[in-house]
């Protein structure tokens, strides 16, 4: 199944999606995107991550990467195939923790491509961003349900979303709610204009003012929102790595074609040592990114705690390695690399925000370091004083 789907996805991206790409630096027209999404459903490549019962392709997390990379070979490919953020992450979370009624109402139309969604957690300063504990939006119990009040910002896909998954502070923690976009308590504010263009629906402020929802709008258990969100955040970070790695592969392919065709100083560009160094370093970045993605995906299926640890490592490594690959590809293509004659400069705009999105890399490095220190303290505590001596003695060998 995976091999067949992979080949069909590659063919669909090559034959249908790439010819429909907008000019570098511009946004894909919604009418064109809907046509591509319909074609993807017809071709049987839509929602590779979605449950088969709802019309998806039913791949497990460990099978996602090759197909997501194939989709990401075009910056608009993941949107065309329904596996772009935030829909992919929301679908995964709904599959894992939504009630049967919620799955019918929200997951099924999302996987079928009949609706799109947004995840509303980030807030204006001093609210939640990299630090979710700073959450300011509140949800208060009222007769028959809940009242949500607060402002969210940088909500990707808000303008095309049919529903929001909203994180709000409740009496004993935080709770996630399913809120229809047509709820009278929901209003869209200004858009935040960023250098990336691939996420349909932009990045908007969203206001929740006396937003009333029923008790059945709670996603998961009340007051367990932060814990439930981890179901989404680890895999969602990883799928960003997968999609953008596909774009890094396309960037290197563009550079390789240029290096093979261009002659400088009496030799092919690809035969010059400096160019070969850039190419080799890019291959190394791509292969190491693929390896850490595979390790993290396997862990997410068997050991979620280890998967969360590796997802931070993958996010930091891949976001920086992918940027380097595209940057080197631009360098290899010279003046054309920074022009609109090639799409590389627009690709760099797409991937640069990933070092900030899904938690800034500095925040992930802080978490990685804390986990490493905690692990070492536990090891030494288990070994006792003798273990400390062994570690010290061993350092001098």
Q: Quick one: which H or E segment has residue 39?
A: helix 30-43
How many domains, the chain? 3
Residue 49 is part of a domain; what is its CATH number? 1.10.540.10
Name residues whose C-beta falls within 8 Å of residue 192's C-beta, 6 or more positions apart in sequence: 153, 154, 202, 203, 204, 205
> Is 67 within 8 Å of 6 (Cβ atoms)?
yes
One domain for residues 288 and 328 = yes
Q: Please, what is the end-to-end C-alpha distance for the chain in angstroms?
A: 51
What integer best gives the mean pLDDT of the chain? 94
Q: Which region among 186-190, 198-202, 355-359 has the lowest average model confidence (pLDDT)?
A: 198-202
Span 232-242, average pLDDT: 95
pLDDT, one tens digit per residue, over 301-319 is 999 999 999 999 999 999 9
| Pairing state between β 163-170 and 218-219 | unpaired
Please determine, for residue 397, whether its predicted confidence score (pLDDT) is greater than 50.
no
pLDDT at 390 over 70: no
Residue 344: the pLDDT is: 98
**What is the tens place of the pLDDT at every residue in 175-192?**
999 999 999 999 999 999
Quick check: is 297 in a domain?
A: yes
Q: What is the pTM of this model?
A: 0.93
Tell me which of 201, 223, 245 is where a domain ends: 223
- Which residue do the tokens 């220190």 mark? 373
The answer on 152 and 77 residing in a single domain is no
Confidence class for position 131, pLDDT limits 50, 70, 90: confident
Burial 91-125, CB ≥16 within 10 A → b, else e = bbbbbebbeeebbebbbbbbbbbebbbbbbbbbee
- pLDDT on residue 395: 47
Judge if 73 and 121 occupy the same domain.
no
């Amino acid at each position: 199944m995976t091999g067949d789907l992979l080949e069909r996805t590659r063919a669909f991206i090559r034959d249908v999606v790439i010819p429909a790409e907008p000019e570098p630096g511009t946004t894909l027209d919604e009418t064109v995107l809907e046509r591509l999404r319909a074609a993807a459903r017809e071709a049987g490549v839509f929602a590779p991550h979605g449950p088969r019962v709802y019309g998806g392709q039913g791949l497990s997390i460990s099978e996602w990467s090759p197909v997501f990379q194939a989709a990401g070979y075009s910056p608009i490919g993941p949107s065309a195939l329904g596996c772009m953020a935030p829909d992919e992450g929301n679908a995964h979370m709904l599959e894992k923790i939504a009630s049967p009624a919620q799955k019918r109402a929200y997951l099924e139309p999302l996987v079928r491509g009949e609706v799109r969604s947004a995840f509303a957690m980030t807030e204006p300063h001093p609210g939640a961003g990299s630090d979710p504990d700073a959450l300011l939006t509140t949800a208060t119990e009222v007769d028959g349900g809940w009242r949500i009040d607060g402002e969210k910002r940088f909500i990707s896909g808000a303008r095309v979303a049919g529903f929001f998954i909203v994180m709000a502070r409740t009496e004993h923690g935080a709770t996630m709610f399913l809120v229809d976009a047509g709820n009278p308590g929901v209003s869209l504010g200004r858009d935040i204009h960023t250098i990336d263009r691939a996420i349909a629906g932009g990045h908007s402020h969203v206001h929740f003012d006396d937003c009333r929802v029923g008790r059945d709008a709670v996603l998961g258990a009340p007051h367990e929102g932060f814990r439930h969100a981890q179901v989404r955040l680890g895999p969602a970070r990883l799928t960003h790595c997968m999609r953008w790695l596909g774009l890094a592969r396309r960037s290197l392919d563009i550079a390789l074609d240029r290096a093979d065709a261009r002659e400088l100083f009496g030799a092919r560009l690809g035969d010059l040592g400096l160019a070969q160094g850039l190419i080799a370093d890019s291959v190394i970045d791509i292969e190491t990114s693929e390896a850490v993605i595979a390790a993290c995906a396997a862990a997410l299926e068997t050991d979620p705690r280890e998967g969360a640890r590796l997802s931070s490592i993958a996010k930091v490594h891949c976001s920086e390695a992918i940027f380097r690959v595209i940057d080197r590809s631009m360098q290899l293509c010279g003046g054309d690399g920074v022009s609109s004659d090639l799409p590389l400069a627009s690709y760099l705009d797409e991937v640069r925000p990933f070092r900030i999105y899904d938690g800034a890399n500095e925040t992930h490095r802080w978490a990685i370091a804390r986990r490493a220190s905690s692990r070492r303290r536990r090891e030494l505590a288990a070994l006792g004083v003798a273990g400390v001596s062994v570690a010290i003695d061993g350092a001098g060998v």
